[in-house]
Structures are given as C-alpha cells and as structure tokens.
Structure 1
Amino acid sequence: MNAHTQYSRVVGSDGKTHYYLVPVEDFQRLLAHTKQDEQITIPNAVVKLHLLDELSVIAAWRTYLGLTQEEVAHRLNISQAAYCQMEKAKRPRQASRKRVAQALGLDEQQLSF
C-alpha cells in the first residue's frame, strides 16, 4: 500500500455525494470524535419519576430499570441500607454517582440532572 492515500467520493444517481472513502486511521479518529460528541439522553419516564413522583435521580433510574434496592446494592457489593442512603442523598458524592452509574450501566452524566 502506498503511503499517500487518495480520498474518493461516490456520487449517487441523484448527483449527491453519499459516501467517502477514507483511510481506516482517519475513520477511527472520526468515529472516536463522534462518540465524544454524542448527547447524553434521559428517558421521559425517568424525568417523570424524578419530578412528579419526587424520587431521587438514582431511585428514578433504578425504578425505570426495574431493579430493587437489594439488586443494585448487590451489584455495588454494599448493604441494601447503605444503598438506600445513596438514593436518599440530596446531592450524592461524585464517587458514589460514578459507582451507581456503572452498576446501572449508565453514563455518570445521566445521574447528574
């Protein structure tokens, strides 16, 4: 393979460009950049549980995911009572939010609204 790579474009029958041919390294760089720019989303049901049902954000997510406090506590390797305190905290510590987010399969930012 040559060190110099030509970028090519594919033009569809409608005259519009549809695809670009790029080196793998450039594609991976662009893909990583795209993932960084993805917006963090929160389902409406979680927002409702938090705002209307007055659950903490952590409790709203747990409820939305159909988990019990005991199940999440088990994932965190802590007691149910200790997890309950995390849910009740008005402003959980960042370290706690990070651990809970990992246990729930979420991005930490999803617990920070």
Structure 2
Amino acid sequence: MNAPTNIQIINGPSGAPAFVVIPYDEYIASRTQGGNLIPNDVISRTVDGATPVRAWREHLGLTQTEVASRLGISQSAYAQQENSENLRKSSLEKMAAALGISQEQLDF
C-alpha cells in the first residue's frame, strides 16, 4: 500500500537517508510536544540495568561528583540516591533540576 505522506526523504552521497523534510506546522507541533522525550541512549542504559537517574547522568556526560555538587550533597549520598529504585517525588524533582531535564523524563 502506498499511502500519501507529507514527508520527503533526501539521500546523501552514499545513498543512505541523510535528511527528512516535513511541513513546517508539523515541525512546530513536534517541537512543542517533544519537551519530555527520552533519548534512545537513556532507554538502552535502563534496559541494561541502570536506574533512570544514572542513565541520564551518563548520557549527559556528568560525574556523580558534579551532580552531587549541583544538589549540594556529598558524592556518596548522591550515589545512594542514584541507585535507589524508589525515589520520592521531591527527590526526583531535585534530581531532574540538577540534570537539566523534566521530572517526567526521570519517572518512566
């Protein structure tokens, strides 16, 4: 079945897809809805056993010490929280702020 689409795929020199062109209104809609997306790298790390907090920290290239400093706690206290499967909502909000992401992006 060849359903009509509003996208255009532009191939690069190797013949592999390099760009996708979409209507501007669809682009704007995706930008406003995409604030809470979770990168594939973060999902992969959680599938491999990392907690969402650890997966995000590693994805962002941060050390435990850097995040602990942003939170105003020791590295060892942060490590305990990072490895916890059951963080309180207030803790998730603080962690998210320290990582520069939304709380919803940590709570999956």
Say whether the fold is shared (TM-score over 0.5).
yes
- For residue 68 of structure 2, what is the amino acid of its counterpart? A
Write the mapping of 1:9-88 to structure 2, written as runs, cut at 5 A: 38-39=33-34, 40-52=36-48, 54-88=49-83
Q: Following the alignment from structure 1 to structure 2, what is the Cα–Cα distance between the partners of residues 76 and 86? A: 11
Could you tell me the percent identity over the aligned residues?
Answer: 43
How many positions carry a matched residue from both structures? 81
Alignment RMSD, CA only? 2.3
Greater C-alpha radius of gyration:
1
Structure 2, gaps ≥5 residues long = 1-28
Q: TM-score, normalised by structure 2?
A: 0.68
Residues 12-31 of structure 1: CA distance to partner in whole angstroms, max 9, x if unpaired?
xxxxxxxxxxxxxxxxxxxx
Shift of 1:91: 1.2
Are 1:89 and 2:75 matched, yes or no?
no
CA distance in 2, matches of 1:66, 1:45: 12
Q: Which amino acid aligns with 2:47?
A: L
Structure 2: how far apart are the matches of 1:48 and 1:91? 20
